[in-house]
A and B are shown apart, each in its own frame.
Chain A
Amino acid sequence: MTPKSVLILGARSDIGRAVARRFAQSGASVTLAARRADALADDLADLRIRFKVVAEAVEFDATDGAAERFFDGLPALPDVVVMVVGLLGDQAQSEADLDAANAVMAANYTGPACYLLAAARRMGTRGSGCIVGISSVAGDRGRQSNFVYGSAKAGFTAFLAGLRNRLFKKGVTVVTVKPGFVATAMTAGMKLPPALTAQPSEVGDAIFTAVTKGRDVIYVRPIWRLIMTVIRSVPETVFKRLSM
């Protein structure tokens, strides 16, 4: 499928920007949805100048519980919806402060999932479309260092799998994206191994290809599939003793 329109939910993120550029490069019109959407004027100008596409911005908060109203307010249902929203948070803080934990869970799971339910119903009725969810390898196994974030992503991964199954017969595809490490604002200041770290533009390219080729689950750098297979295969009796 060659999408004619794409909606990016969480468009201010480095990954969201890269995805927007990649779709615009193919000529798709782009809607950027983010908090403080009025501050996206320069991003819209950039897309219009570079790619001569239609680009608009809409106000959006993934955790406001107003998904139905949001989609009803759009001038048209886009061909592709990409959910980029996420919040890494701080594991220690989440353990100490339950409000912080809740915020991480809401930003990575309940908020995004509710928005995608609203999108899915509309796409199902139309009988076409593609939903992309950015989840994480952190959801492939809970680890002491980030399991609040990881468990929310695990929920989101399971949600996307079920949604794919649900929409299959309705002609709507669902792509689960597990980026591995990406050099973005979220990871700024962390020491990341270069061979395992993708640039945002690679994520944009990978998502575009997955959408046009109808892929189900992608790891942006293929090495991550192997790494996570190994990590998942460690027996729990051993795993619980590790400091990962």
Chain B
Amino acid sequence: MSEPDRTRVPLTGWGRYPRRDCEVAAPTDPAAAAVARAPARPLIARGNGRSYGDASFGPGLTVDMRRLGRLIAFDEATGELTCEAGALLSEIVAVFTPRGWFPPVTPGTKFVTVGGMVASDVHGKNHHGAGSFCDHVLSARLALGDGTILTCSRAENADLFAATCGGMGLTGTLLTVTFRLIPVRSSKILQETVRAPDLATAIDIFESGSARTYSVAWIDCLASGAHLGRSVIIFGEHAAPQDLDPSEQATPFARPSPRGKRVPVDFPTVALNRLSVSLFNQVYYRLQKPGRKVVDIDPYFYPLDAIQDWNRIYGRHGFVQYQCVLPLETSRDGLTALLTEIARVGQASFLAVLKRLGHESFGHLSFPRAGYTLALDFPANPETFALLDRLDRIVTEAGGRLYLAKDARMRAPMLRAGYPRLEQFNAVRRRYGLDGRFRSALSDRLEI
């Protein structure tokens, strides 16, 4: 079997920062992906490039997995699905929602691959109840870069499984993944919106809403003083047919026809200044009318997917996303400190999302842990980097960590402080001979 053809192309993550010329192969045959060999050059798998920073490309060969996206087995009785790692979540939603099945955990965009979901151990708006994606993964087949393929699960090669779940592609190339979908009775969500005038109220609302299936808050992070942490909290439950409009009850899985908007060219960098963001946030805050309504899964889970290429609004220099999690005990003080600092600088964060996370995952480098996670976008520029260094100190002091799938700029000491199981992770990589064989721009930067 010959190695797949390769080509050199400039690659970035979703934030379009940083950028690097990479050697890329896009195998159509799983055997070709499996035999892509290190250490002639180190490997890293790339899914749909929806991680924000530099996780999805590397100094050696970047293996684009999107052509390996076949659905291989589905059990109609249990919802157990086996697919190739390059399968897009959007296709899984399109195929299975009409049949009454939905992903157990979904990130805020459906344009991610299943391999990317495992490698980042993604969390959704239901993390407090359902855990992260890998909690629903039964097993995976992993190519180790020397021609070997191993199956790993909680029972088989369990150490490798724990390192792979959330392991950012650094333990091998996922070929197939088996996970369980959850049954749903419609393609609609019963949504309830609540306003919180400040952070303390927002946290109280989250804590008393722990029985809700989905919850997330959008924070107006330019609000300060008494309004600090002003937010809208959106709860959601999968709707039953009787929750729907009588005209829709006979066809509970009907979907609205797709309508894509696209950001055609890069916005001039000035478009997103403090004023426009402040306006956006105020308008958004006011638009979210408190109350209940039934909405389709798309606007509920994937509001940004309606605008293709929205990452271009930050202009050609790109942007960074900053997502941290703080332990429950330090969340109130830590979040206050973070939001105060952001409001003080007045840096424009287009989106600011707050969410309660449940328990820590078994994955060695998984991001989620019990506490609160805050995610913010900033244009990539020196002021942002200076601000983020200050936020790093607040996060580290609060005992928190940053999400690797979003990160483009933290440094190794912060990683080590936030991820105490890094040593276990490295030990597994050594045990299976994976260190050095799998490298990304992120792992080089963080000295993993």
Contact = CB atoms under 8 A, between A and B. Distances in A.
A complexed with B: yes
A50 B73 CA distance: 10
A64 interface: no
Interface stretch (B1-9, B339-347, B363-371, B419-427): B1-9
Contact of B95 (A14, A49, A190): A49
A185 interface: yes
Contacts of B158: none
A42 B74 CA distance: 12
B26 A49 contact: no
A178 B374 CA distance: 51
A17 to B, nearest CB: 8
A43 interface: yes
B72 interface: yes
B71 interface: yes
Contacts of B289: none
Nearest to A52: B99
A24 to B, nearest CB: 12
Interface in A170-215: 185, 188-191
B70 interface: yes
A92 interface: no
Contact of A43 (B6, B67, B70): B70
Nearest to A188: B5
B33 to A, nearest CB: 13
Interface residues of B, number: 16
A188 B74 CA distance: 32
Given A14-B28, A50-B95, A188-B26, A45 B5 contact: no
Contacts of B70: 42-43, 45-46
Given A14-B28, A185-B28, A188-B26, A46 B72 contact: yes
Interface in A52-84: none
A113 to B, nearest CB: 26
Interface string A3-41: 000000000001000000000000000000000000000
Interface string B1-45: 000111100000000000000000010101000000000000000
B67 A42 contact: no
B71 A188 contact: no
B5 A49 contact: no
A14 B73 contact: no
Given A49-B95, A50-B95, A185-B28, A42 B7 contact: no
23 contacts: A14-B28, A42-B30, A42-B72, A42-B84, A45-B70, A45-B71, A45-B72, A45-B73, A46-B71, A46-B72, A49-B72, A49-B73, A50-B71, A50-B95, A185-B5, A188-B4, A188-B5, A188-B7, A188-B26, A189-B5, A189-B7, A190-B7, A191-B7
Interface of A: 14, 42-43, 45-46, 49-50, 185, 188-191
